[in-house]
Structure formats: structure tokens, C-alpha cells
Amino acid sequence: MKNIDNLNNFKKLKRKQIKILIPNATSPRNIGDQAMLDGLIFLLKNEYKSAKIKIHSVDPNVYDRKVDYQIDHTLYSWSVLKNRNAFPKFINLSKLVLQYIFLRLGIFGLGVDRQLTSLINDYKNADLIVFAGGGYLRSRKGIKQSLNLFMQLLHFKFAELFSAKKIVSPISVGPFGCKWQEKIVAGELSKMDLVAVREEISYKMLEKYKMKNLILSSDFALLIKKINKKKVNSDFTLGFTVREWLKGNKYKKFEDSFVESIQKFSKNTGAKIQPIVQVDASMYGEDDASVTKKIAEKLGKKKLGVSKIIKINNVNEALDVYSNIDLLLGMRMHSNIFAAIQGTPFVALSYEYKTEGIAKQLSMEKYCIRCEDVNKDSLYKILMDAYKNRSYLRKELINSVEEIQNREIKRWGNILCK
């Protein structure tokens, strides 16, 4: 495999007591991100059976306490996200920056905060640091967006200070509001031992910077093993996931087209409608519940067969839900991935190019449309196409997922020094 010669030193690691840190996991409230983390842990445990795994997460208290790995805050959540008031945020952020300066100067004995010192010691003591996959290295224009990107990059900056091997599991990079943000991210990633991206668009973006540590891989949520498909009723069911991404009149146009397309599809096929909430984390600006409720109510007023909204709480529930529908209209990218794992055809609504890239990997690019391009006719046409070809698409998805799983499990076994 090209571009991983610099990982040969992994073979020197002793497996029995290897310490692994995942420093940037997001909240388990985001089921898609949790699926990527589960896929990563599966690979790590498959190769390092006796490893001691420590996870830094945005929401450490939300995890199931039965898990067999340690969990703590990320540097970002400790310093900023866990505090509601501005003053504690400012104090902790100041401590974090000061601690980084000390470490950068080679001053390792001065701890400015006990919990912060504990988090940094996890970096220091790790043999292997693996950054969780996802779409967190992106931004729009604005100071707040730039600050968020800066905080995400701090995890990489602290990792640089220590000798552990550093792997970035499959991510999407961008889009960015400014070109300088893209350059800073590429520069930071070039310092890692290996950077994996999960779709071609991100790969081509980083390839421009002549990164020698870059590989094209797949979203680790695709490594989750499927459960048996057990549809509970014979009615054809169209599920949907949606998020409020566009603003103002653009969003109103999108929502109207979304509702009208589903209405027309249901009347022509007799399909029941199943609204699904995959992400319910309003404290982080991820409030799918309210927009899903609003759309479900609009569909209900049109006298369609709309089922009670399902709120997904974990990965197993997600697999079960997507196994019990016949077609998905998915704006949440990982809802399409969960559907694919179950062989359930989907029409993907792309709000960023990561969705287009994943759809292409699954040979479903024909059934992916940008949310800005949605109108009632274009969306209805794609839904009907998927409906008519659902048996063929199911077989294609099952084959695509199986091929990705076989390829990536073998590849990452080699990367993780099997």
C-alpha cells in the first residue's frame, strides 16, 4: 500500500500493554459519529486485544458505563463546551493556552490545573493516538467558525508535543469559508504519521498539498456489522431524516419541496411515511427533532399515513429502524450509511460534499442530490426511480458494503501492524 512507509515503526510496538488515546470523540448523541467511533474501536481491539484504550469525548457522562474503556473530556469540551458561563470558559481556555506554551518551551513540570494535567498526561503516556473520523475539520466564514476550527486543531497541536504514533482515521476535510483555513488544516495534517480520508473530494483537496501521509479509505461506520432485516409489516414505508441546514428563504423553499415531493410520492405509491430523528443535541446546534416534527405535522395535514416519529438513541436502534423501512430519504449522511448496511435503498440529500463522496463509494451517486438543487419535481423523480429499482439497489448496496468491509478491515489490519 502506498503512502504508509512511515508507519513501519508500528511493528516495534509491544501489543500487550499498548496505550491508545482517541482524543477527539464527539458526543454519543450524534449516532453517526458514535458509529464511526464503534468502527474504530472494533479495528483497534481486533489488532490490539490487550490494549488500554482511553477516549476523550465531548459528552463523557452520556456513555454507557458498561463500556470497557476509560472516558474523559476532550481538551475542547473541558475548556469551553462544558461551561455555560463566559468567565469559566475564559479561565479554562487561558489555562489551556498557557499549558501549551509551557510544553512547547519544553517545560513539562508546571501544571496549571489538575484535570487539565490529567488530560494532557493521556497524550504523554499514549503509544498510539488515533483521531476519530468525521467531518469536524470544516468551517464557514465568521469569527465563531474560525474559533471552532482552531479548537479542533488544538487536539492535533497537543499530540505533536509527544512521541506517540499519530493516525487520523477517515475524515472529510472542508468545505472552508476561507482559503487560509484550508491551508492551515492541510499543514497540520501533514505532521501526522497517517491521514485517512473517507471520500475522493477531500482526498483531492489534500493531495494538492503533496501530503505523503495520505490515503483514501472509507467511513468507519460502514464497518458496523448488520443485523437481520426483520420488517414488521407488509406496507411499503418511506423513512426520512432531515436537518435545518439552509437559512431563510432557501430553507423555506427546500422544506416546501421536501414536503410536496413526499406527498406526491406517497399518493402514487401508497407508501407510509416514517419520520426519523437521528441527532437530538440542541445544545450543540443539532436540533433535528423540531424540524422533523414540523415536517411530520405538515405531512399529516395532507392526510398521508404518517407514523409516530422515531428518535434513535444508539447504533443498534439505528440499524433496527433502517431495517424496517423500504426506502430512505436521508439528509443525515449516516442515516444513508445505516440504511446501506441493511441493504435499504436511499435517496441522499447532500448539504456538504461528504455525502456526495460516500454515495459514490456505495455506487449510489445517481440517487444523491444537493439540498440547494431540490425542487418538488427533481426530488420526486429521484424517489420514484429508486422505488422502481429498489430490488436491484438492495443487491448493489449489500455487495458494495461487503466489498468495503472486506477491503478496509484487511487494510487497517496491515496499518495497525498485524
What are the tens digits of pLDDT across the range 342-373? 999 999 999 988 899 999 999 999 999 999 99
- Per-residue pLDDT, 319: 93
Distance, CA of 82 to CA of 182 (rounded, Å) = 28
Q: Is the pLDDT of residue 275 over 80?
A: yes
If one counts every other C-beta atom within 10 angstroms of the C-beta of residue 225, the result is 9
Confidence of residue 14 (pLDDT cuts 50, 70, 90): very low
Q: SS in 3 state form for the chain?
A: CCCCHHHHHHHHCCCCCCEEEEEEECCCCEHHHHHHHHHHHHHHHHHCCCCEEEEEECCHHHCCCCCCCEEEECHHHHHHHCCCCHHHHHHHHHHHHHHHHHHHCCCCCCCCCHHHHHHHHHHHHCCEEEECCEEEECCCCCHHHHHHHHHHHHHHHHHHCCCCEEEEEEEEECCCCCHHHHHHHHHHHCCCCEEEECCHHHHHHHHCCCCCCEEECCCHHHHCCCCCCCCCCCCCEEEEECCCCCCHHHHHHHHHHHHHHHHHHHHHHCCEEEEEECEEEHHHCEEHHHHHHHHHHHHHHCCCCECCCEECCCHHHHHHHHHCCCEEEECCHHHHHHHHHCCCCEEEEECCHHHHHHHHHCCCHHHEEEHHHCCHHHHHHHHHHHHHCHHHHHHHHHHHHHHHHHHHHHHHHHHCCC
7 against 217, higher pLDDT = 217
Confidence of residue 69 (pLDDT cuts 50, 70, 90): confident
Q: What is the mean pLDDT of residues 7-32?
A: 75
Q: Is the pLDDT of residue 231 over 90?
A: no
Sequence-distant contacts of 399-408: CB under 8 A, at least 24 apart: 400/340, 400/361, 400/362, 400/363, 401/222, 401/226, 401/340, 401/341, 401/343, 401/362, 404/218, 404/222, 404/361, 404/362, 405/222, 405/223, 407/218, 408/217, 408/218, 408/220, 408/222, 408/223
Q: Is the pLDDT of residue 15 over 70?
A: no
Q: Is the pLDDT of residue 223 over 90?
A: yes
- Per-residue pLDDT, 66: 66
Choose the weakest-confidence range: 267-271, 303-307, 393-397.
303-307
Choose the weakest-confidence range: 2-16, 63-77, 185-199.
2-16
What's the pLDDT tens digit per position in 331-344? 999 999 999 999 99
Q: What cell numbers appear for 403 in the block?
A: 466489498
Which residue do the cell numbers 499549558 mark? 99
Q: What is the mean pLDDT of residues 166-190?
A: 95
Distance, CA of 103 to CA of 188 (rounded, Å) = 18
Residues above pLDDT 70, as percent of the chain: 92
**Is the bond preceding 175 in cis, omega lying within 30 degrees of 0?**
yes
The domain limits of the chain are 5-223, 237-400
Q: Is the pLDDT of residue 6 over 50?
A: no
CB 159 within 8 A of CB 123: yes
- The answer to whether domain 5-223 and domain 237-400 are alike in fold is yes
C-alpha 253: how far from chain center = 27
Q: Is the pLDDT of residue 178 over 60?
A: yes
Residues above pLDDT 90, as percent of the chain: 75
Those residues with Cβ within 8 angstroms of residue 416's Cβ, 6 or more apart along the chain or in another chain? 10, 43, 44, 47, 48
CB 186 within 8 A of CB 211: yes
CATH of 237-400, one of 3.10.20.30, 3.30.1370.60, 3.40.50.2000, 2.60.40.10: 3.40.50.2000
What's the pLDDT tens digit per position in 110-165? 777 899 999 999 999 999 999 999 999 999 888 889 999 999 999 999 999 999 99
Q: Is the pLDDT of residue 233 over 70?
A: no
Residue in 172, 226, 218 with CA at minimum distance from that of residue 338: 226
Architecture of domain 5-223: 3-Layer(aba) Sandwich (3.40)
- Per-residue pLDDT, 142: 85
Confidence of residue 390 (pLDDT cuts 50, 70, 90): very high
Confidence of residue 247 (pLDDT cuts 50, 70, 90): confident
Average per-residue pLDDT for the chain = 90
282 against 223, higher pLDDT = 223
Q: What is the mean pLDDT of residues 384-406?
A: 96
